[in-house]
Amino acid sequence: MTFRLLALALWAALSASSVHAERAANAASSLLAAEKQGLQTASAQHLQQLVTPTARGMAKINYDRAWLASVPEPAGGEQWRCLAEALYFEARGETVKGQFAVAEVILNRVDNPNYPSSVCGVINQGTGQKYACQFTYTCDGHPEHISEKGAFDQVGKVAKVMLSGAPRKLTDGATHYHTTAVRPRWARKFPMTAEIGVHRFYRQPTRISMN
């Protein structure tokens, strides 16, 4: 593969998230500059130096612990923390795939004009009145203690990968989910898009019949 094609692939992977747009442009420019110097192919080692681990992961995500172990230790700001905490309290007992699926729902809501436009806004929507919120752990009256560091480190990696622009292909645009132990009334009107682990996922219809 030539540097030009590699540059395009790199730019596509990184620019999937606006956070990485400038990095994508700089890295692609580096590859094209190398091509002008007469280099036609890139070694795997050179590519590893240019492409960030998160960008490499976005090309192909394996929803298992082995793949997630290869992701660097997570770090981030407020939005990352909100998503990581939501995954910890809502899905830490789920499989890696199930955790990614829950993250998809939250980010799908961020993109939906019917919900707040930030991760923290979506997660804390309705918080303040007991059991009137969107995510129960934020309004159930119980203190939110993160006592399982290993579990939090894992969901923190999931949150980082998703916020870096990973594809959302598990839940087909779902904006809602519930555990298989319950059957909320709204689930009868929303089309189910997936069932992963103990969660069922649903896409909010454009119009809801009241009949």
Residues 17-67 pLDDT 10s: 434 444 444 554 554 454 445 444 444 444 344 344 444 445 578 899 999
Identify the CA nearest to 174 among candidates 185, 183, 184, 187.
187
Check residue 59 and give its pLDDT.
53
Residue 130 clears pLDDT 90, i.e. is over it: no
| Average pLDDT of the segment spanning 163-179 | 94
User: What confidence tier does 173 reach under pLDDT thresholds 50, 70, 90?
Assistant: very high
Residue type, 47: L
CA pair distance 123, 136, nearest whole angstrom: 10
* 44 CB-near residues (< 8 Å, 6+ apart): none
Question: Where do the H-state alpha helices sit in the chain?
Answer: 3-14, 21-36, 44-50, 53-59, 65-69, 78-91, 96-111, 119-123, 149-163
Beta bridge partners of 192: 202
Separation between Cα atoms, residue 178 and residue 184, nearest integer Å: 8
CA 38 centroid distance within chain: 39
Lowest-confidence region among 18-22, 61-65, 121-125, 203-207: 18-22
- pLDDT of 128: 64
Residues 175-189, buried b or exposed e (16+ Cβ, 10 A)? bbbeeeeeeeeeeee
Mean pLDDT, all residues of the chain: 77
- Reported as a pLDDT band with limits 50, 70 and 90, residue 132 is low
What average pLDDT does this structure show over 77-103?
95
Q: At what angle do helices 78-91 and 149-163 cross, to 10 degrees?
A: 130
Three-class SS state of 10: helix
- The overall pTM is greater than 0.85: no
